[in-house]
Amino acid sequence: MPLSNAMPLSAFRIQSIHFDATHVYLQLASGAQVGEFLTRNPRLEKASAKQRAQWVLTDDGLGANWPALSPASATGMVYVLDLLWDARCDHAMQRLHALEWRLDALSAQDQLLVALWRMEADINNGGFMQFLCNWGDPTCQLALQGLRAIGADQTHAALAGMRGLLDRFEDDPAVTELSDLYAAMTPDEQDALEQFEEAYYARPEDLARLGVLHFGPEPDAGPQP
């Protein structure tokens, strides 16, 4: 079930867009404002003021395209839910930093957010074993809980499949470090891991949408002009 601070998607529809020297800002139907550094969107960063003014909304109003700069996409060059999800996870990471990186000192909600952020960052960069070796099985288990909570069933199935390949090694004396696991797998297990990773990368689920709908946006998360 969504948390009490979640909002309907209509609250996140873009009402207006403006720029300053460093950001593009989206004013939302809820009255909130979210922004993104222009350096993260080189086409917008290099565009003229006239080009920047020629934005059009996506069909659902949650994204904006600049047809003069790039072919239109369904979610847009700038997508509100990506910005809100990034802000939600970034603030959880900031709270973790403030607690000297003690994950168990965070609220249960923030532990899930941190685990999901680490999952996306590491698996997208270097695969499941990078995620597992960097953060350990407790974070993997939290990521599984988080995926289940937000309703990301296909992503959950892929991650659970990867984690399930490791069950037989729990009492293996040859595996003393997490980094030993991949070499200890049979070729068939390594192939299975690759197939689960491909399923993870190919999943059609929008984790940002599911995450924001479940957790809600971070209060006052957007950068101010």
Give, for all 225 residues of the chain, the pLDDT tens digit: 333 456 789 999 999 999 999 999 999 999 999 999 999 999 999 999 999 999 999 999 999 999 999 999 999 999 999 999 999 999 999 999 999 999 999 999 999 999 999 999 999 999 999 999 999 999 999 999 999 999 999 999 999 999 999 999 988 888 999 999 999 999 999 999 999 999 999 999 999 999 999 999 987 544 433
Shared fold status for 9-79 and 83-213? no
Looking at residue 3, its pLDDT comes to 39
CATH architecture of 9-79: 2-Layer Sandwich (3.30)
Q: Yes or no: say if 218 and 87 are a contact pair by the CB < 8 Å rule.
A: yes
Owner of token pair 């998360």: 221
Cα-based angle 145, 148, 151 (whole degrees, multiple of 5): 150
172: left (phi over 0), alpha (psi -120 to 50) or beta: beta
Fold of 83-213: A middle domain of Talin 1 (1.20.1420)
pLDDT recorded at residue 7: 73
Residue type, 78: V
Contacts (Cβ under 8 Å, ≥6 apart) of 219? 5
**First-to-final CA distance of the chain:** 34
For position 153, what pLDDT does the model report?
98
Residue (of 157, 93, 102, 159) closest to 131 by Cα position:
159
CA–CA distance, 211 with 219 (Å, rounded to integer): 15
d(CA 214, CA 196): 25
| pLDDT at residue 6 in the model | 61
Would you state the pLDDT for residue 197? 98
Determine the residue type at 18. H
CA distance 200 to 162: 10
Please give the pLDDT value at position 220. Answer: 59
The ranges assigned to domains in the chain are 9-79, 83-213
